């Protein structure tokens, strides 16, 4: 999946650098392109730590946190960059679809105890935000599988909170974006495909990380969520 994604990324003129983090040893066949930088971790690190480490190598005005299980069917960057350049948004994101073409719930309202309880008892299993057709809009937060940042904003925010090993670091940074007077914007005119692994549904270790991150998030954010303007 990584090799296919990198091949696609290198086709796009907006991509000036690709940092590939090998969190665990694996054999990758990568093209001999000077834009590729490979980081070999001595020990596995969490999502937040890996993204922050990659950002230290970034010398460009924009930084994209991107999961390896993303597939690009067309170039999403022109629309996303235009959204960042014409608004005071810190993060831009596309629609995320599954391999069958259904829009995933990667665009959400900030979680609360009540919303998680409803989800736990499956009362809101299909509860999702209403997505305006084609028009950029401002959700509370977007999932971390594809987040395009202005580099100066990412730097101002001190990156992801490395206290989250996996999960909820994307929610947390979006909270801090809004608290800093910036915005999160979604461009529904462009989309990417997410071939999700859903590891927390299958392995106890990932479920443990998910629950631990959830508790950390609520400990940090209890009663301190920003007011997010609705679509204007």
- pTM for the complete prediction? 0.90
What's CA 14's distance to the chain center, in Å?
19
Residue with tokens 């299958």: 202
- Cβ neighbours for 7, distance < 8 A, ≥ 6 positions apart: 31
Among positive and negative, which fits the CA dihedral 56, 59, 63, 65? negative
d(CA 182, CA 176): 9
The predicted structure's pLDDT at residue 198: 55
Mean pLDDT by 10 residues, the chain (232 residues): 96 98 94 96 97 97 97 97 95 96 92 68 56 85 97 98 96 96 96 77 79 92 79 52
User: CATH fold of 2-221, please?
Assistant: Spore Coat Polysaccharide Biosynthesis Protein SpsA; Chain A (3.90.550)
d(CA 48, CA 162): 5
Contact 89, 184 (CB under 8 A): yes
Quick one: 106 exposed, middle or buried, by C-beta within 10 A (0-12, 13-18, 19+)?
buried
- Cβ neighbours for 225, distance < 8 A, ≥ 6 positions apart: 110, 175
The predicted structure's pLDDT at residue 225: 85
Quick one: 186 exposed, middle or buried, by C-beta within 10 A (0-12, 13-18, 19+)?
buried
The predicted structure's pLDDT at residue 228: 85
The predicted structure's pLDDT at residue 231: 58
């Amino acid at each position: 999946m990584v090799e296919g994604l990198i091949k696609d990324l290198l086709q796009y003129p907006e991509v000036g650098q690709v940092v590939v983090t090998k969190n665990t040893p694996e054999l990758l066949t990568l093209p001999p392109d000077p834009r590729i930088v490979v980081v070999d971790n001595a020990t596995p690190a969490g999502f937040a730590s890996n993204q922050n480490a990659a950002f230290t190598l970034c010398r460009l005005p924009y930084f994209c946190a991107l999961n390896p299980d993303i597939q690009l069917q067309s170039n999403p960057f022109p629309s996303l960059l235009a959204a960042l350049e014409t608004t005071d948004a810190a993060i831009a994101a596309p629609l995320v679809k599954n391999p069958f073409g259904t829009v995933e719930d990667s665009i959400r309202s900030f979680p609360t105890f009540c919303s998680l309880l409803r989800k736990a008892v499956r009362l809101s299993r299909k509860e999702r935000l209403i997505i305006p057709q084609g028009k950029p809009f401002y959700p509370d937060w977007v999932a971390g599988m594809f987040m395009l940042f202005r580099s100066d904003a990412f730097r101002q925010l001190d990156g992801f909170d490395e206290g989250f090993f996996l999960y909820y670091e994307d929610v947390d940074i979006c909270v801090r974006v809004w608290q800093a007077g910036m915005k999160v914007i979604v461009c529904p005119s462009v989309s990417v495909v997410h071939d999700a692994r859903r590891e927390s549904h299958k392995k106890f270790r990932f479920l443990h990380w998910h629950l631990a991150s959830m508790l950390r998030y609520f400990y940090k954010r209890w009663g301190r969520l920003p007011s997010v303007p609705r679509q204007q």
